[in-house]
């Protein structure tokens, strides 16, 4: 404010001074102009006024300074009050915020506790459910596993039982094969089973004495037709199983010892020749038997070994009239005998067959007559049916204009209850 007054005063003085100088130039230096004097007076008056204004300005400046100081003091007080109020409010807001935060924290803690409790309950429920399902699944799986294990153990036990039975059977077979008497019985059983598959019971005999008055009995004797119908001819078949000599030969082959192989083969050949001689002496007795017999070897390996010996089979046939057979060719030979039996039976009964065929021819002619008569009767019946069809179609044509009853009313009862006039056809 003081600076503004000083500037205004300076401007006024400069304006008055400039005006005075202008007037002095116009009027001249020595002339006295009343207007100039008046102007000077005005300037002096203006200077006084300016001084007065300065004093007023100083006074106003002092007042303004005091007012400014008072205003500054009031502003400071107001600021202090506002600051204090703001501090109090901030403190209150802080307390309120802290209280709100505490309440929020408490609410959050409560909610978290509730959520944790709920989660714990749900987890416990899930655990129980999982435990129950797991327990049920484990029980089911364990039950299935135990059942499977039990079944497998039962199968194993059954297999062990079968193995024990098999071991017992192997032991029995070993005893059979190592015992001469039971070994012969096994060969006899095998031969008998083979014979039973091919022949009927009246075509062979077991344990038969083929030589009249002799005590020796052959295991199987095949009945062959003789010259007379009441006098058959018997074919002796005896089973032999020299397993000791054959086993020694197999052991020699396993050891690849040619000397032992040759010795065992010679021993087996001698044993076979001895058995063939016994068969010839005990069982061959023409004309009660054939002039040859059959030696049955129950294994193919033994039979192949006998055939492998050069000239042995031919020598047995030539010297002892004994034919050596195995399981395979025995069946073929017996089948050939069976076919021979059938051919012979057909030859013997050919006259009966022709008589039977004549009777069949006569009966067939009668049957043809019956067929012709039946065909005639069937044709007559067909004609009757054709006539019935014609009459049926004629009745249907006449009944076309008759109104049909509903299905529910057209039953047998309604037909019976109707009058005789209604039942008659128009």
Long-range contacts for 390-398 (Cβ within 8 Å, ≥24 apart)?
A: 395/425, 398/425, 398/426
Lowest mean pLDDT among 10-19, 207-216, 310-319, 332-341: 10-19
Residues 310-326: pLDDT tens digits? 888 898 888 888 998 88
Residue in this structure with the two tokens 């000077």, named with its chain if needed: 40
The domain segmentation of the chain, as residue ranges, is 2-109, 184-348, 350-391
Q: Is the dihedral of CA 410, 416, 417, 422 positive or negative?
A: positive
Show the tokens assigned to 383.
Answer: 């004609």
pLDDT at 26: 60
CA distance 260 to 323: 28
Pick the residue with more confidence: 89 or 276?
276
pLDDT at 180: 47
Residue in this structure with the two tokens 């509903």, named with its chain if needed: 406
Task: Answer yes or no: pTM beyond 0.85.
Answer: no
Residues 384-407: pLDDT tens digits? 777 877 777 777 777 776 655 554
Residue 329 has pLDDT above 50, yes or no: yes
CA distance 202 to 283: 20
With H, G, I as helix, E, B as strand and everything else as coil, classify residue 360: helix
CA distance 306 to 315: 11
Name 246's Cβ contacts closer than 8 Å, sequence gap at least 6: 268, 301, 302, 305
How many C-beta atoms lie closer than 10 Å to residue 218's C-beta?
25
Residues 228-242: pLDDT tens digits? 556 788 889 888 888
With H, G, I as helix, E, B as strand and everything else as coil, classify residue 222: strand
Closest of 37, 45, 56 to residue 12, by C-alpha: 45
Average pLDDT value for residue range 324-338: 82
pLDDT at 364: 67
Taking each helix axis as running N to C, give the angle between helix 350-398 and helix 327-348, from 0 to 180 degrees, rounded to the nearest 10: 80
**Beta strands, E only, 274-385:** 293-296, 322-325
> Which H or E element spans position 204?
strand 204-208
């Amino acid at each position: 404010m003081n600076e503004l007054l000083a500037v205004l005063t300076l401007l006024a003085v400069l304006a008055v001074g400039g005006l005075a100088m202008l007037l002095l130039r116009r009027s001249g230096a020595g002339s006295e102009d009343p207007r100039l004097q008046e102007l000077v007076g005005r300037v002096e008056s203006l200077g006084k006024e300016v001084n007065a204004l300065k004093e007023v300005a100083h006074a106003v400046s002092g007042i303004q300074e005091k007012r400014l100081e008072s205003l500054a003091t009031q502003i400071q007080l107001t600021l202090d009050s506002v600051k204090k109020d703001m501090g109090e409010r901030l403190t209150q807001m802080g307390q309120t915020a802290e209280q709100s935060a505490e309440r929020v924290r408490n609410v959050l803690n409560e909610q978290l506790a509730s959520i944790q409790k709920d989660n714990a309950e749900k987890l416990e429920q899930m655990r129980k459910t999982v435990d129950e399902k797991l327990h049920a699944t484990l029980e089911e799986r364990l039950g299935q596993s135990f059942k499977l294990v039990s079944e497998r153990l039962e199968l194993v036990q059954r297999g062990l039982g079968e193995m024990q039975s098999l071991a017992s059977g192997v032991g029995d077979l070993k005893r059979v094969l190592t015992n001469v008497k039971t070994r012969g019985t096994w060969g006899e059983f095998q031969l008998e089973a083979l014979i039973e598959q091919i022949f009927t019971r009246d075509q062979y005999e077991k344990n038969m004495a083929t030589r009249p008055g002799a005590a020796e009995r052959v295991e199987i004797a095949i009945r062959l037709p003789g010259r007379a119908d009441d006098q058959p001819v018997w074919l002796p078949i005896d089973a032999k199983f020299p397993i000791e000599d054959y086993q020694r030969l197999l052991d020699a082959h396993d050891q690849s010892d040619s000397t032992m192989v040759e010795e065992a083969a010679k021993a087996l050949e001698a044993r076979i020749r001895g058995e063939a001689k016994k068969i010839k002496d005990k069982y061959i007795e023409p004309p009660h038997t054939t002039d040859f017999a059959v030696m049955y070897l129950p294994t193919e390996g033994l039979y192949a070994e006998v055939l492998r010996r050069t000239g042995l089979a031919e020598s047995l046939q030539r010297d002892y009239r004994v034919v050596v057979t195995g399981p395979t060719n025995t069946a073929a030979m017996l089948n050939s005998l069976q076919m021979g039996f059938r051919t012979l039976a057909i030859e013997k009964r050919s006259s009966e067959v022709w008589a039977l065929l004549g009777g069949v021819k006569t009966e067939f002619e009668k049957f043809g007559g019956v067929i012709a008569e039946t065909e005639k009767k069937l044709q007559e019946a067909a004609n009757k049916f054709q006539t019935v069809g014609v009459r049926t179609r004629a009745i249907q044509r006449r009944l076309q204009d008759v109104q049909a009853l509903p299905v529910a009313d057209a039953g047998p009862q309604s037909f019976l209850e109707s009058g005789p006039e209604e039942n008659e056809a128009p």
